[in-house]
């Protein structure tokens, strides 16, 4: 119960703070260039083949005006990961005069988007410029140039049709790679034949599971294979679910028995959650010790896709009283340990360009889980009172 009480009280703080300013003002908080976050344990020939094919397609059409390529698939299936692999492909380097990554998200704002694009082209905007002014400025900047843009996590085709199409058509040539959960969004944006990312086969998922657990002994890989494959099926072949499960399993013995116990846990079938949050994602939360649960839920106060700084979180968690005292250690030091534990459990994703994982993000589905659980707890409190 105290988790949510505190959580709700902090909503007031966040509402009053920069994190909850109108959409147009949050652009500095969203770290839009997340292209460097390439998965260290990339698995599956499918992913590599898809990457190769899509890079070829991009290069074939690089002289066209605003050619679109699309990647579609359910949440957590690997669209952003594939787009990152493409974005970092060696043969794309130097193919366009300007290349950048933009994380669009559900709550994008037209102004933020245009400002971000201008920034990509090295232009700084004045305060208070209107949408029309920003759009004209962008059109003038891209004139005669060629560009490659990844628009990651697009929820509405209007991002293209209403905001970016007109200014970007001024460029001599350009390719836009769109990732979205919805086929209809890809088509309405003008993508022909989007690439569909499917959930992983049991074998590929198993490879991701043991690699994410750093299992290096071939005998272990062979001995645990059958139960491992069952676990992958329980995860629905979803790489995000497999990665969080890997960290939960890493705390168990590496035996068939211990893993079978894990697979039979009742938390797999908690029924009152939205389908996409059930099973492995919920279990990874359920497995957390109480103090980490509070810290995890707290992160959902940040808007979707924002970058969170370790030092801010440490300060806020300490102020909330989430940190348990440990003999001979400052609360801030313990809070830092909590931060790294959440990263280790794949519940927060470190931002690779920062030294020491000083900044991180929360995957959208995990944030949804945290929001959902907080709301559930709120209803519980209301009922109890």
Q: Which is nearer to ligand ATP, 160 or 317 (CB)?
A: 160
The residue written with tokens 């035996």 in the block is 255
Length of the chain: 385
Q: 144, 173 in Cβ contact below 8 A?
A: no
Among 35, 80, 199, 349, binds Mg ion (CB under 5 A): 80
Query: Choosing among ligand ATP, Mg ion, none, which partner's interface includes residue 306 (Cβ < 5 to 8 Å by kind)?
Result: none
User: Among the candidate windows 3-11, 133-141, 331-339, 363-371, which touches ligand ATP by CB under 6 A?
Assistant: 363-371
Name the binder of 76 from ligand ATP, Mg ion, none, CB < 5-8 A by kind. Answer: ligand ATP
Two tokens, residue 116: 């971000």
Q: Which does 42 bind (CB under 5 to 8 A by kind): ligand ATP, Mg ion, none?
A: ligand ATP
What part of residues 220-239 is at the interface with ligand ATP (CB under 6 A)?
239
List 3, 7, 35, 44, residue binding ligand ATP (CB under 6 A): 44
Tokens 């209007």 belong to 158
Indicate the residue whose CB is closest to ligand ATP.
Answer: 78
Distance of alpha carbon 258 from alpha carbon 54, whole angstroms: 42
For the record, the structure tokens of 60 come out as: 């074939």
Query: Which of 60, 59, 62, 58 is closest to 71 using CA atoms?
Result: 58
**Measured between alpha carbons, how far is 118 from 139 in angstroms, rounded to an integer?**
10
* Closest distance to ligand ATP from the beta carbon of 385 (Å): 35
34 binds Mg ion (CB under 5 A): no
- Of residues 52-91, those binding ligand ATP (CB under 6 A): 73, 75-81
CA atoms within 13 A on the CB side of 11: 11
Closest distance to ligand ATP from the beta carbon of 353 (Å)? 16
- DSSP letters of 127-182? TT--HHHHHHHHHHHHBT-EEEEEEES---THIIIIIIHHHHTTBSEEEEEEEES-
Q: Which of residues 98-157 bind ligand ATP (CB under 6 A)?
A: 153
Which has the closest alpha carbon to 305: 68, 50, 75? 75
Q: Interface with Mg ion includes 334 (CB under 5 A)?
A: no
Does position 41 bind ligand ATP by CB under 6 A?
yes
Contact partner, 68, from ligand ATP, Mg ion, none, Cβ < 5-8 Å per class: none
Number of residues that bind ligand ATP (CB under 6 A): 23
> The tokens of 19 are what?
């994190």
Other beta carbons within 10 Å of 37: 17
| Residues between 261 and 320 with contacts to ligand ATP, criterion CB under 6 A | none
Q: What is the DSSP letter of 21?
A: S
307: phi then psi, degrees, rounded to nearest 5:
-95, 130
Q: 359-361 and 308-309: which strand pairing?
A: antiparallel
Closest to 183 in 3D by CA, of 329, 44, 79: 79
Pick what 239 binds: Mg ion, ligand ATP, none; C-beta below 5 to 8 Å, kind-dependent. ligand ATP
CB of 364 to ligand ATP, least distance (A): 4
**C-beta closer to Mg ion: residue 104 or 215:** 104
Among 32, 39, 189, 277, binds ligand ATP (CB under 6 A): 39
Helix (H) or strand (E) holding 361: strand 359-361
The one of ligand ATP, Mg ion, none whose footprint includes residue 135, by CB under 5 to 8 A per kind, is none
Tokens of 103: 């994380």
Task: Give whichever of 287 and 364 is closer to ligand ATP, judged by the CB atom.
Answer: 364
Beta strands in 276-351 (DSSP E): 308-309, 349-350
User: Computed from CA positions of residues 298, 301, 305, 309, in that sequence, does the dihedral angle turn out positive or negative?
Assistant: negative
Pick 86 or 314: Cβ nearer ligand ATP: 86
Angle subtended by helix axes 310-320 and 2-16, to nearest 10: 130
Choose between 151 and 232: whose C-beta lies nearer to Mg ion. Answer: 151
Query: Could you tell me which of 195, 133, 166, 140 has the C-alpha nearest to residue 66?
Result: 166
Nearer to ligand ATP, 287 or 320 (CB): 287
336 binds, among ligand ATP, Mg ion, none (CB under 5 to 8 A by kind): none
Residues that bind ligand ATP (CB under 6 A): 39, 41-44, 47, 73, 75-81, 153, 181, 208, 239-240, 243, 363-365
Residues that bind Mg ion (CB under 5 A): 80, 153
């Amino acid at each position: 119960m105290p988790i949510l009480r505190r959580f709700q009280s902090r909503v007031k703080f966040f509402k009053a703070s920069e994190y909850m300013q109108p959409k147009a003002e949050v652009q500095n908080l969203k770290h839009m260039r997340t292209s460097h976050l390439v998965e260290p344990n990339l698995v599956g020939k499918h992913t590599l083949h898809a990457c190769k094919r899509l890079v070829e397609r991009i290069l074939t059409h690089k002289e066209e005006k605003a050619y679109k390529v699309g990647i579609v698939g359910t949440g957590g299936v690997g669209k952003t990961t594939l787009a990152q692999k493409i974005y970092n492909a060696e043969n794309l380097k130097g193919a366009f005069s300007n290349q950048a990554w933009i994380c669009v998200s559900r709550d994008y704002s037209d102004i933020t988007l245009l400002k971000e694009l201008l920034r990509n082209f090295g232009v700084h905007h004045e305060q208070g410029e209107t949408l029309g002014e920003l759009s004209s400025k962008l059109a003038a900047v891209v004139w005669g140039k060629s560009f490659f843009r990844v628009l990651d996590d697009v929820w509405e085709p209007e991002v293209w049709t209403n905001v970016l199409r007109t200014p970007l058509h001024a460029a001599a040539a350009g390719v836009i790679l769109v990732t979205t959960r919805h086929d209809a969004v890809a088509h309405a944006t003008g993508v022909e034949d989007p690439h569909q990312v499917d959930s992983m086969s049991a074998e590929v998922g198993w490879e991701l599971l043991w690699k994410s657990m750093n299992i290096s002994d071939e005998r272990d890989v062979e001995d645990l294979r059958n139960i491992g494959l069952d676990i992958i099926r329980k995860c629905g072949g979803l790489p995000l679910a497999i990665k969080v499960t890997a960290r939960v399993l890493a705390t168990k013995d590496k035996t068939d028995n211990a893993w079978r116990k894990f697979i039979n846990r009742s938390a797999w079938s908690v029924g009152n959650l939205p389908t996409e949050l059930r099973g492995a994602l919920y279990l990874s939360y359920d497995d957390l010790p109480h103090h980490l649960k509070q810290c995890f839920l707290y992160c959902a106060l940040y808007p979707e896709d924002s970058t969170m700084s370790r030092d801010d979180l440490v300060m806020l968690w300490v102020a909330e009283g989430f940190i348990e005292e440990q003999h001979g250690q400052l609360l801030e030091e313990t809070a830092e340990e909590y931060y790294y534990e959440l990263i280790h459990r794949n519940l927060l994703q470190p931002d690779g360009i920062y030294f020491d994982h000083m900044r991180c993000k929360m995957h959208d589905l995990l944030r949804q889980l945290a929001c959902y659980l907080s709301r559930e707890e709120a209803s519980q409190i209301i009922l109890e009172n």
